Amino acid sequence: MVTSSVLFPRVESLSSSGINCIPKEYIRPQEELNNIGNVFEEVEKDGGPQVPTIDLMEIESEDKTVQDKCREELVRAAKDWGVMHLVNHGIPSDLIDRVRKAGQAFFDLPIEEKEKHANDQASGNVQGYGSKLANNASGQLEWEDYFFHLIFPEDKRDLSVWPKTPSDYTKVTSEYARLLRSLATKILSVLSLGLGLEEGRLEKEVGGMEELLLQMKINYYPRCPQPELALGVEAHTDISALTFILHNMVPGLQLFYEGKWVTAKCVPNSIVMHIGDTVEILSNGKYKSILHRGLVNKEKVRISWAVFCEPPKEKIILKPLTELVTEAEPPLFPPRTFAQHLEHKLFRKTQDSLVPRKAD
């Protein structure tokens, strides 16, 4: 099997080897280095904008006034930021702890054990254990290893690629997926109403219960000897409809808001939620898919569990909904399938790497 580790060692191996300088493939371009700071110092800054926290306790309240206030706050955050901390989201904290422990236990295995689950990106087999292969002309790599797999709908899963260790991995991940799928329906309903649409409209447009895919990527960011030179994940927007993220309470997520990088604080018992490109397109830009990236550090391993809620690749044409397009507000995005949108982003990224870079 051809794996990414044939070309480059796993980042975990680099981290544990005792190197003091990271390989040149991981060093970011100069204009990025100008704004990569110490994440522990960044997260302590109190001034300036902060990622909003949305309390979902009253999202289905019988008191219409209370319910409306909760929903309005969520819609406002989706329009202004496109990212938020969700609290009182309805997923039990003990289940979230078990999901975290299961993912941690897999990454605690020796690398040779994890390699038994290696993906094969060259042949298109993206599920499994992997590391970022450079997909642009500059040959840039990211300081992370990961485990990627489809977790819902259950009939579309390939359990043969799922970790067998720990023994409860499948059970806890499957239960989390079911509850997260229900949460996605609630969020999409509120976002639909916030656009003046019928409650189920956005969910229908992204594939509904049968077709919307939940893909989990466990991101493992080892300690980095030169964190000021590297990124765990380079700046990007998510192509998904929604993305839900758990983490191990080590900071690293940064959002590009109003022309500056803002470091997200770690909010206990929260799930970070991003609006993805898919919902931004359907809403004709009313909801924002925010540019974000991941910092690394010298002291602590960071792990995050990102679940991307994605429409089917070919079945649905993504374009601004007709009700949201007027002469005053023409469509901001051309019609594309989800697969075409992904290809477009990868092509643009490759083109960007071929031209001289400009500082922010």
Task: Tell me the per-residue pLDDT of 206-262, one tens digit each, with 9 for 90 and over.
Answer: 999 999 999 999 999 999 999 999 999 999 999 999 999 999 999 999 999 999 999
pLDDT at 135: 56
Q: Which of 89, 117, 217, 341 is catalytic?
A: 217
Only one residue has tokens 């690398």, namely 111
The yes-or-no answer on residue 149 being catalytic is no
| Tens-digit pLDDT profile for residues 280-300 | 999 999 999 999 999 999 999
pLDDT at 352: 60
The yes-or-no answer on residue 217 being catalytic is yes
307 in helix, strand or coil? strand
Mean pLDDT, rounded, for 142-164? 97
Asked if 286 and 279 count as a contact pair (C-beta separation under 8 A), the reply is: no
Asked if 338 and 122 count as a contact pair (C-beta separation under 8 A), the reply is: no
Mean pLDDT, rounded, for 158-172? 97
Asked if 174 and 214 count as a contact pair (C-beta separation under 8 A), the reply is: no
The yes-or-no answer on residue 247 being catalytic is no
110 in helix, strand or coil? coil
Q: At residue 270, does pLDDT exceed 80? A: yes
Q: At residue 357, does pLDDT exceed 90? A: no
pLDDT at 3: 39
Report the amino acid identity of residue 57: M
| Tens-digit pLDDT profile for residues 44-97 | 988 889 999 999 999 999 999 999 999 999 999 999 999 999 999 999 999 999
Q: At residue 345, does pLDDT exceed 50? A: yes
Angle, to 10 degrees, between the axis of helix 64-80 and the axis of helix 169-194?
Answer: 100
The yes-or-no answer on residue 292 being catalytic is yes
Least confident of 146-155, 258-267, 293-302, 346-355: 346-355
Q: Which of 236, 265, 319, 349 is catalytic?
A: 236
Rounded CA separation 73/247 (Å): 24
**Backbone phi, then psi, for 184, in 5-degree steps?**
-60, -40
Dihedral angle of Cα 208, 209, 210, 214, to the nearest 10 degrees: 100
pLDDT at 5: 40
Burial letters for 313-332: b for 16+ Cβ neighbours within 10 Å, e otherwise? eeebebbbbeebeeeeeebe
Q: Which of 238, 277, 286, 341 is catalytic?
A: 238
